[in-house]
Every structure is written in C-alpha cells, then in structure tokens.
Amino acid sequence: MSVHHHTKNITLKRLQAMKSQAEKIACLTAYDASFAALLDDAGVDVVLVGDSLGMVIQGRESTVSVTMDDMIYHSQCVSSAIRHAFIIADMPFMTYTSVEQALDNATDLIQLGGVQMVKLEASIRQVSIVKELSECGVAVCAHLGLRPQYIHKLGGDSLQGNDEKSSEDLLRSAEHLQTAGADMLLLECIPDTLARRITDNSSIPVIGIGAGSDCDGQILVLQDVLGITPGMTPKFAKNFLADTHDIRSAIVAYVDAVKSSSFPLKS
Ligand code: KIV
C-alpha cells in the first residue's frame, strides 16, 4: 500500500490530463478540516463538500434541508485545510433555479467558501444556467442520473437510465451540458454500460458513484468508506476501514483501489 504524495496542486487542467492518460481520479467527500487534511495527505485528488452533509453531519433524512449558509461554513472548514486537492462544493436544493440566483450563490461558494468548482444536479433544464456560469468563469460539475435533491418529486432512490428513453435522455443531457461549458460530469446510480458510453463520448472528466468501473474517476461519501454512516449504506459503497487498522490507512486503501481499478469491481 502506498501513499500518493501530490507533487503539485490539482487543477482542472491536471484532472483533464488524468482523463487523457487514463489515470483514475480518486474523489471523496469531506465536511471539516481534520478529515480534509487527512484526505489531502492520503492523495485524494478531488474533495467534494457534498450536500450529503444533510444526512451524515446534520442527521436529516435527505439533502433538501441543506442551506447556502451550511455549504459556505463547511466549504470554509474544508478549504482552509486543503493544500493540494481540487475542491468542489454542492449548490443546495433550490439555490440555482434562475441564472441570477445561480451566479450569486456560486460566487459565495467560491469567494467565501474557497472552493474551485460548484456542482449542481442537472438535466436539460439546467443547460442555460451552466452556460452562464461557465461564461462568467465558474468551473461547473453537472451531477446526472440519480439526483438526491429530487427525492420528494421522484420518491426514493433507484437506478436511473435503465430504459431506452431515460438512457437516451441522459446521453443527450450529458452532451448538452458539456457543450454549455460543464467541466466535469458526475454520474450517480446509472447502468455501467451507459456510464461507459457517456465517459467515452465526453472530453471532460466523468466521475462515477454506483455507475460501474469505467468512469474516469470514482467518488464515495467519506462516512460510507469508514463504515460509520448512520442508517442505510448504499449497495455500491465499500467500508475500507474493515480491512485496515486506522482511518488514514483506510483512505490510502481507497485511493489505491480507485487508482488500480480494483474498486469498484468490474461487473
Ligand atoms: O452530496 C454528495 O456527497 C454527493 C456525492 C454522493 C456524489 O453528491
């Protein structure tokens, strides 16, 4: 097991180069300075301040109660401790319903939170918002497939894109969002074959969670990797602490597993 010491800061350009060179991108969530520093040191390439903090930090049932103030606070905690990794923050539920609102809130995440990229749950409807953010100089990650902020609208978490129409919709959304200026895609809970098609069709890095092993990188929620998630753990998650003796080794094992394509297992 090796520690992947970063030699320099991870930029979007570096992530792009990793995609071109087929070097897997290891991503994890963090919400505070202690874990952020540990992840950074263990060689995690991308740290996401996810709105999953609604569940794992605040003990709520979903992400929809998370506010901009929560995101700014946790982004500050994380960004103050990171020296190398690329930092992304989620835009919470209903904070990017119009171009103006999205611009204002992205500005706060970047200027006050200290993050480098914002992530929003996207479909065709968000294309104009992504375009405007991008043209104003904001790096954007479009989160497609299972979109947890739609929980009350769609009811429950399940595999997305598993019929002809929804998989064509996802492919088309991914294309349009990339054309609009998205710099990264995140695919959650979609069939492996569809994730592979989207990854092959995209020139930007594609990160997967529950989307098979062929994306350019992988992400998990930190608490799932440590086996301390309150309540249900998703099927695709893996407890890396179970086979190691401390938290640092568990994170290094996760990074190693992503880099060597041994996580997730090929189906
Ligand atoms: O909020 C979050 O942590 C996420 C990841 C699960 C991808 O969006």
Contact 187, 195 (CB under 8 A): yes
For 186-243, write each residue's pLDDT tens digit.
999 999 999 999 999 999 999 999 999 999 999 999 999 999 998 888 999 999 999 9
Q: Quick check: 2 pLDDT over 90?
A: no
Instruction: Write down the pLDDT at residue 4.
Output: 54
Instruction: Write down the pLDDT at residue 267.
Output: 74
For 125-143, write each residue's pLDDT tens digit.
999 999 999 999 999 999 9
Distance 134 CA to ligand 1 centre (A): 21
Q: What is the mean pLDDT of residues 54-66?
A: 96
Q: Is 60 helix (H, G, I), strand (E, B) or coil?
A: coil
- When pLDDT is cut at 50, 70 and 90, the band that residue 8 belongs to is low
What CA–CA distance (Å, rounded) separates 166 from 77?
A: 38
Residue nearest to atom 4 of ligand 1 (CA): 50
Instruction: Write down the pLDDT at residue 154.
Output: 80
> What is the model's pTM?
0.96
Instruction: Write down the pLDDT at residue 156.
Output: 65
Q: What is the mean pLDDT of residues 156-170?
A: 82
- When pLDDT is cut at 50, 70 and 90, the band that residue 1 belongs to is very low
Mean of per-residue pLDDT scores for the chain:
94
The one-letter amino acid code at 208 reads G
188 is catalytic: yes
- When pLDDT is cut at 50, 70 and 90, the band that residue 78 belongs to is very high
Say how many C-beta atoms besides its own lie within 10 A of residue 11's C-beta.
12
What CA–CA distance (Å, rounded) separates 147 from 158?
A: 10
C-beta of 170 in contact with ligand 1 (< 6 A): no
To 10 degrees, what angle do helices 247-259 and 33-42 make?
50
Distance 221 CA to ligand 1 centre (A): 7
C-beta of 149 in contact with ligand 1 (< 6 A): no
- Please state whether the peptide bond connecting residue 264 to the residue before it is cis, i.e. omega within 30 degrees of 0: yes
What CA–CA distance (Å, rounded) separates 153 from 5?
A: 43
Q: What is the mean pLDDT of residues 169-184?
A: 98
C-beta of 52 in contact with ligand 1 (< 6 A): yes
Contact 223, 54 (CB under 8 A): no
pLDDT over 70, % of the chain: 96
Instruction: Write down the pLDDT at residue 153.
Output: 83
C-beta of 186 in contact with ligand 1 (< 6 A): yes
Length of the chain: 267
What CA–CA distance (Å, rounded) separates 80 from 87?
A: 11
Q: Is 58 helix (H, G, I), strand (E, B) or coil?
A: coil
Report the nearest atom of ligand 1 relative to the CA of 188.
Answer: 7
What CA–CA distance (Å, rounded) separates 212 from 215?
A: 7
Q: Are strands 206-209 and 117-121 parallel, antiparallel or unpaired?
A: unpaired
Q: Token digits for 75?
A: 């982004």
